[in-house]
Amino acid sequence: DAGVIQSPRHEVTEMGQEVTLRCKLISGHNSLFWYRQTMMRGLELLIYFNNNVPIDDSGMPEDRFSAKMPNASFSTLKIQPSEPRDSAVYFCASGRGDPGTDTQYFGPGTRLTVL
């Protein structure tokens, strides 16, 4: 059974460019989480969906960030325009059930570098 799939694994872009990160959930999971990992703040939750509906987007840094879930198995995180401070590793995770207690299954992450 395939785990969470993220693409691309690495992205290098220039400041001002649009960046789109992609995530495919594990089949049968109904919750989707986007996290950002930095040295200073560790893993921060950006947004999470349940049954394709955004439940909590309080972690989204600003309007430059947007996330969508066009269907039950796929999600995108878009940054437009990108800035150097957005450089980080972005993880998506999927799960089923209670987002606070049930195991979340993480993808391998996308390492984003904005020059």
Partner 1 sequence: DQQVKQNSPSLSVQEGRISILNCDYTNSMFDYFLWYKKYPAEGPTFLISISSIKDKNEDGRFTVFLNKSAKHLSLHIVPSQPGDSAVYFCAASGNSGNTGKLIFGQGTTLQVKP
- Residues in contact with partner 1 by CB under 8 A are 4, 33, 35, 39-45, 48, 55-56, 91, 93, 98-101, 103-109
3-state secondary structure of 39: coil
* Four-point Cα dihedral 77, 37, 111, 8, nearest 10: -30
User: Measured at the alpha carbon of residue 60, what is the angle toward residues 104 and 45, in degrees to the nearest 5?
Assistant: 20
- CB nearer partner 1, residue 8 or residue 16: 8
Q: Which is nearer to partner 1, 63 or 98 (CB)?
A: 98
Q: Which residues contact 41 (CB under 8 A, 6 or more apart)?
A: none
CB of 82 to partner 1, least distance (A): 22
C-beta of 37: minimal distance to partner 1 in Å? 8
Identity of the residue, 48 or 65, whose beta carbon is nearer to partner 1 in the bound complex: 48
